Amino acid sequence: EAGVTQSPTHLIKTRGQQATLRCSPISGHTSVYWYQQALGLGLQFLLWYDEGEERNRGNFPPRFSGRQFPNYSSELNVNALELEDSALYLCASSWTELGEAFFGQGTRLTVV
Amino acid sequence: AQSVAQPEDQVNVAEGNPLTVKCTYSVSGNPYLFWYVQYPNRGLQFLLKYITGDNLVKGSYGFEAEFNKSQTSFHLKKPSALVSDSALYFCAVRDSFTGGGNKLTFGTGTQLKVEL
């Protein structure tokens, strides 16, 4: 069974540009979660999508947004990139609210 | 609000010795607790979870954790450490009352170093 897959593995963008990160959950999982792991800030919850809708978001500005497609895959968009957006972005999926979340390998975003 | 504390940035242990990685939590309702491990340049791997039931939870790779409600702790343990256990360990909590799905609050992580 395939795990959570994320693409691209690495992404380099210039300040002010937009970045798009993609995530495919484990087959059968309907919930997708996005986390940011920035140096010195630890793992922070970004967004939760379930059944195509945004259910919850963390304490991040509106330029962090995303969506979930009918096949439950998800995109994270970061607009007007800032240097401090450089981080490892992790996607996770779970089958139920009580089940453990399974994480992908992450996308390393570097803003220069 | 829910929170997790991992008081040790790094834990050093000799191979073959028992290891403990500490975690304390704070939630409004009943806690759902998790341990994850992260190897360099990799995502998080699930180790074990406590939802309800037996206070001693057994997980992957020989790890176990003990839930202590009175001390609000969920320490990760292993009877005999291996060099290959060296990695970054995260404790996470989810409050049963938040309705926030599987939104997890993570600790800051503990770097485990197992030496020969």
Q: Do A101 and B90 touch (CB under 8 A)?
A: no
Residue in A closest to B47 by C-alpha: A100
Strands (E), chain B: 3-5, 10-14, 19-21, 24-26, 31-38, 44-50, 56-58, 64-68, 73-78, 87-95, 105-106, 110-115
Give the pLDDT score at A9. 96
Among B42, B102, B105, whose Cβ lies nearest the Cβ of A94?
B102
Model confidence at B43, pLDDT cuts 50, 70, 90, reads confident
pLDDT at B96: 65
Partner-chain contact B103 A48, CB within 8 Å:
yes
Its sign, for the CA torsion B13, B16, B17, B21, is positive
The full DSSP string for B22-51 is --EEE-SS-EEEEEEEE-TT--EEEEEEES
How much is the average pLDDT of B73-102? 87
- Average pLDDT (B36-55) is 90
pLDDT of residue B42: 81
pLDDT of residue B101: 65
Instruction: Please determine, for residue B99, whether its predicted confidence score (pLDDT) is greater than 80.
Output: no
User: Are A101 and B46 in contact (CB < 8 Å)?
Assistant: yes
Residue B104 forms contact with A (CB below 8 Å): yes
Residue B53 has pLDDT above 60, yes or no: yes
Contact A102 B106 (CB under 8 A): no
pLDDT over 70 for what percent of chain B? 93
Distance between CA B3 and CA A39 in Å, rounded?
Answer: 19
Confidence (pLDDT) at B98: 56
Comparison of pLDDT for B18 and A31, the residue scoring more: B18
Eight-class DSSP state of B99: -
In this complex, the residue of A6, A31, A100 whose CB is nearest that of residue B101 is A31
Which of B32, B44, B103 is closest, CB to CB, to A90? B44
Q: What chain A residue is nearest to B52 in terms of C-alpha separation?
A: A98
Q: Are A54 and B100 in contact (CB under 8 A)?
A: no
Q: What is the mean pLDDT of the segment spanning B80-91?
A: 96
Residue B97, pLDDT score: 59
**CA–CA distance, A99 with B11 (Å, rounded to integer):** 29
Nearest CA-CA partner of B83 in B10, B19, B6, B36: B19
Residue A1 CB coordination number (10 Å):
5
In A, which residues are within 8 Å of B103 by CB distance?
33, 45, 48, 56, 58
Per-residue pLDDT tens digits of chain A, which is 112 residues long? 679 999 999 999 999 999 999 999 999 999 999 999 998 888 999 999 988 999 889 999 999 999 999 999 999 999 999 999 999 999 999 887 667 889 999 999 999 9
Chain B partners within 8 Å of A108 (Cβ): 41
